[in-house]
């Protein structure tokens, strides 16, 4: 079975491409390398020294004997996308290829427009490419838990059954995203759902929580296969950032009160969730939705866990509540379902001291590469 991994040079995409290859899938990687360019523009860099995509693929072949086909180009360019589709003939497409940072999308008008055009047009092109080329192809699309926002009721997996004035229906769950980036995912979900209804396509929308960790079975086999690990105020995400901050004695940056609660998962579960989604395709005409996270944590609790893990390694870690640059609730109800992937057989790697130790040690190994100036958040939601 052939799987095209769009965004296969990124954090989740690279780990997934290798995992699928290791599981016997024939893998193609498509990426326009724009993320490396955005890092350069912002003057930020991954903690880890990542090799070029060509070197990575070459090394994987040396380690595993497997070929990964590479397509360098932009999915907002329809001609390029169709050519890649015709060249590779995928049975499933995993779509990670978007601008994924909320702060990046809130820098200014230009970055908001760039984010939404890149994400919405890219996904729309992909829907057309699937329809034109092979309507049987299963689209596995990365969405986000942030599509739902933080409602004061339980969060279902994509749809909610509502009774209203004596009538009943199952409808898309209400969305209240918290940035122009998160909004782009809502727009994508609507477009995908419509394409499934109108053209009979099959799609899985994976509303993923915040991913943490860096090593997977495959990316850990050689230094040239190492994955990216972002820690800066734009692309770095909560737990990864905290471990890297701890490694250089920087106070952990809890925004506001820290009662913000989110879904989290280990990158080793990200790759497994994608594998499960591909192995169990969605029905034709349906956009099914899985909430892809394994545990819920408040930001405050995560910071305290990193502080404790630091203590056992002999590192003194300070937790600091800094002014929240975002507009979001800092104390709220949050209870989301996540049973669909568990029902398909996901066996989660829950957050453990061992993982925090290994992430902290990993950060310590590369701490000379950390630019302290990039840690504090500079982008403010209110401008
Ligand atoms: P990333 O920035 O590391 O990787 C994204 C990749 O997509 C990059 O290599 C980039 O060059 C490529 N790309 C972007 N636009 C493209 C285009 N128009 N054409 C071709 N390639 C393009 O991001 P990531 O952390 O790996 O996230 C991957 C996906 O998972 C995103 O859709 C993101 O929204 C989603 N997600 C990520 C997280 C997380 O914590 N990292 C959590 C939930 C959901
Ligand atoms: N936060 C802090 N301190 C930090 C960084 C973040 O308190 O140093 C807080 C934020 O204010 C927010 C929460 O932690 O309340 C999560 O922020 P984040 O930067 O870790 O994650 P987010 O901006 O939501 O985006 C990330 C990925 C995105 C993905 C999303 C999943 O970048 O691609 O869609 O996680 S979710 O959060 O479930 O929507």
ipTM exceeding cut-off 0.90 for this assembly: yes
Quote the pLDDT of residue 371.
Answer: 97
Whether the pTM exceeds 0.90: the reply is yes
| Annotation says 185 is catalytic | yes
**Range 278-302 average pLDDT:** 98
| Annotation says 181 is catalytic | yes
Residue 236 backbone dihedrals phi, psi, to 5 degrees: -70, 145
Q: Look up residue 171 and give its DSSP letter.
A: E
pLDDT at 383 over 90: no
Q: How far apart are CA 256 and CA 332, in angstroms?
A: 13
Q: How far apart are CA 204 and CA 278, in angstroms?
A: 9
Q: How far apart are CA 2 and CA 367, in angstroms?
A: 38
Closest atom of ligand 2 to CA, residue 377? 8
Quote the pLDDT of residue 336.
Answer: 98
Is the sign of the CA dihedral 94, 122, 233, 301 positive or negative?
negative
**Range 80-103 average pLDDT:** 98
Q: Which residues contact 280 (CB under 8 A, 6 or more apart)?
A: 344
List the one residue out of 251, 273, 250 whose CA is nearest residue 263.
273
Residue 96 backbone dihedrals phi, psi, to 5 degrees: -105, 0
Q: How far apart are CA 78 and CA 188, in angstroms?
A: 17
**Range 50-62 average pLDDT:** 98
Pocket test for ligand 1, best of 5, 35, 72, 226 (most atoms within 8 A of CB): 35
| Annotation says 144 is catalytic | yes
Ligand 2 midpoint to CA 293 (Å): 13
pLDDT band at 277 (very low <50, low <70, confident <90, very high): very high
Ligand 2 midpoint to CA 265 (Å): 13
Catalytic residue among 48, 76, 115, 144: 144
Kindly report, residue by residue over 229-267, the tens digit of the pLDDT.
999 999 999 999 999 999 999 999 999 999 999 999 999
Catalytic residue among 185, 212, 261, 270: 185
Average pLDDT, the chain: 98
List the one residue out of 346, 291, 334 whose CA is nearest residue 142.
291
Grouping H, G, I as helix, E, B as strand and the rest as coil, residue 262 is strand
Kindly report, residue by residue over 183-219, the tens digit of the pLDDT.
999 999 999 999 999 999 999 999 999 999 999 999 9
């Amino acid at each position: 079975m052939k799987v095209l991994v769009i965004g296969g040079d990124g954090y989740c995409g690279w780990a997934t491409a290798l995992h699928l290859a290791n599981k016997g899938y024939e893998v193609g990687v498509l990426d326009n390398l724009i993320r490396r360019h955005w890092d350069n523009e912002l003057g930020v860099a991954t903690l880890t020294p990542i090799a070029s995509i060509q070197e990575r693929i070459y090394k994987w072949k040396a380690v595993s004997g497997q070929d990964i086909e590479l397509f360098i180009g932009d999915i907002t360019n329809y001609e390029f996308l169709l050519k890649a589709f015709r060249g590779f003939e995928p049975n499933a497409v995993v779509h990670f290829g978007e601008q994924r940072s909320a702060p990046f999308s809130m820098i200014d008008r230009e970055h908001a427009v760039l984010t939404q055009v890149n994400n919405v047009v890219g996904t729309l092109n992909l829907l057309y490419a699937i329809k034109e080329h092979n309507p049987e192809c299963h689209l596995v699309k990365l969405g986000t838990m942030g599509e739902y926002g933080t409602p004061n009721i339980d969060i279902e997996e994509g749809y909610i059954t509502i009774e209203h004035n004596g009538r009943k229906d199952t409808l898309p769950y209400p969305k209240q995203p918290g940035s122009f980036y998160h909004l782009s995912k809502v727009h994508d979900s609507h477009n995908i759902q419509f394409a499934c209804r109108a053209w009979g396509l099959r799609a899985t929308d994976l509303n993923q929580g915040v991913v943490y960790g860096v090593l997977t079975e495959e990316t850990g086999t050689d230094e040239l296969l190492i994955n990216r690990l972002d820690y800066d105020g734009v692309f770095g995400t909560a737990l990864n950032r905290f471990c890297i901050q701890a490694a250089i004695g920087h106070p952990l940056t809890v925004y506001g009160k820290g009662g913000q609660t989110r879904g989290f998962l280990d990158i080793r579960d990200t790759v497994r969730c994608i594998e499960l989604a591909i192995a169990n395709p969605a029905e034709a005409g349906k956009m099914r939705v899985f909430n892809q996270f394994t545990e819920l944590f408040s930001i405050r609790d995560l910071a305290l866990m990193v502080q404790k893990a630091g203590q056992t390694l002999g590192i003194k870690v300070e937790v600091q509540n800094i002014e929240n640059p975002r507009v979001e609730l800092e104390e709220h109800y949050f209870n989301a379902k996540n049973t669909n992937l568990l029902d398909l057989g996901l066996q989660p790697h829950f957050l453990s001291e061992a993982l925090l130790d290994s992430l902290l040690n990993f950060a310590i190994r590369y701490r000379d590469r950390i630019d302290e100036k990039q840690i504090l958040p500079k982008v403010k939601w209110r401008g």
